[in-house]
Amino acid sequence: MKKALICGVSGQDGAYLAKLLLEKGYGVCGTSRDAQMSSFRNLVSLGIRDQIKLESVALNDFRSVLQALIKTEPDEVYNLAGQTSVGLSFQQPVETLESISFGTLNWLEAIRFTGAPIKFYNAGSSECFGDIGDRLADEETSFRPRSPYAVAKSAAFWQVANYREAYGLFACSGILFNHESPLRPERFVTQKIIAAACRIAQGSSEQLHLGNISIQRDWGWAPEYVEAMHLMLQQEQPEDFVIATGHSTKLEDFVAQAFAAVGINWRDRVTTDSSLFRPTDLAISRANPAKAREKLGWQARYRMEDVVKEMVSAKLQASPGDRP
């Protein structure tokens, strides 16, 4: 039986990845900053909470990371932890850098220190590319980060590349574009939109306040993206991959789809609020996932419209206590 250690198992991607690996017969261990206090709500909602061994790990503490590796003896490590919000990173730049960049470095150094043949996956981000206009971003596109989050993810990406080249570690990064699911918390704009549309459909008189709705993003389905993560660690050689649908749409279109799904004209209930604009933001984010299709055999099946439909359906079916 293969063993996998998922750092950040309580998040959206961590929960879906844990479910996937369990279905493939893995023994799965997940980490959280405080495993005794965390509710692991996403694992509970997927019905897998009791199938996963849980450990407390502080990402910025090398000794804590090393102890987790020695104790669990994993074949594969998936580093999905750290601060995950671009918007919040402007308010917490230091914590963002420490949890993402220093956390990744501690995993890499701990793996090198143990000398074990562990395969390491790092969660990269399309935010690293910055504002490259209407061009398609692929694995050869230069990074021009425009947020503290993107700066931290860029540093982590190059740390992975350095340890791969300098020490021969099987370490790779998935440069993931936006991917959503019902497990997204409402501080993410996509879930904020879905939740508001559903509340309004159920009688709420509220107005939904959003920032810049003209931005374009490539939105995919999170359960598909974790399949790509696993595939990366099954290759003979470690390589980095862009993971995306290859189709970008405006946030305005996402809003329109969400409200249309509940039978409401979004223009009557949505207000653009300039105070919600980020200090710097990407106008357009577009991807070329050809390498993943050719080398991994991975291709996104869900488009933005499918993602919205699934999220709205899940939100309407959820009881108030089950909602993120």
Assigned token pair, 118: 């562990």
Catalytic residues: 125, 127, 149
Q: What pLDDT does 195 receive?
A: 96
More confident site: 301 or 83: 301
Q: Is 319 exposed, middle or buried (0-12, 13-18, 19+ CB in 10 A)?
A: exposed
Homologous superfamily (CATH) of 3-179+220-243 is NAD(P)-binding Rossmann-like Domain (3.40.50.720)
Q: What pLDDT does 320 receive?
A: 55
Segment 294-307 mean pLDDT: 97
Assigned token pair, 82: 């750290």
Pairing of strands 3-7, 76-79: parallel
Of 284, 177, 158, which is closest to residue 228 (Cα–Cα)? 177
pLDDT exceeds cutoff 50 at 301:
yes
Segment 109-121 mean pLDDT: 97
pLDDT-derived band at 50, boundaries 50, 70, 90: very high
pLDDT exceeds cutoff 70 at 176:
yes
pTM of the model: 0.94
Q: What pLDDT does 145 receive?
A: 94
Domain boundaries, the chain: 3-179+220-243, 182-217+248-285+303-322
Q: What pLDDT does 321 receive?
A: 46
Q: What is the pLDDT of residues 214-273, one digit of tens each?
A: 999 999 999 999 999 999 999 999 999 999 999 999 999 999 999 999 999 999 999 998
> What CATH number should be reported for the domain whose range is 182-217+248-285+303-322?
3.90.25.10
CB 122 within 8 A of CB 153: no
Of 1, 2, 118, 3, which is closest to residue 66 (Cα–Cα)? 118
pLDDT-derived band at 209, boundaries 50, 70, 90: very high
Q: What pLDDT does 41 receive?
A: 92
**Most confidently predicted of 183-187, 199-203, 238-242:** 238-242
User: What three-state secondary structure class fits 282?
Assistant: coil
Q: What pLDDT does 324 receive?
A: 46
Assigned token pair, 205: 């008189």
| Gap between the Cα atoms of 211 and 278, Å rounded | 8
Assigned token pair, 236: 């003979």
Q: What pLDDT does 312 receive?
A: 97
pLDDT exceeds cutoff 80 at 82:
yes
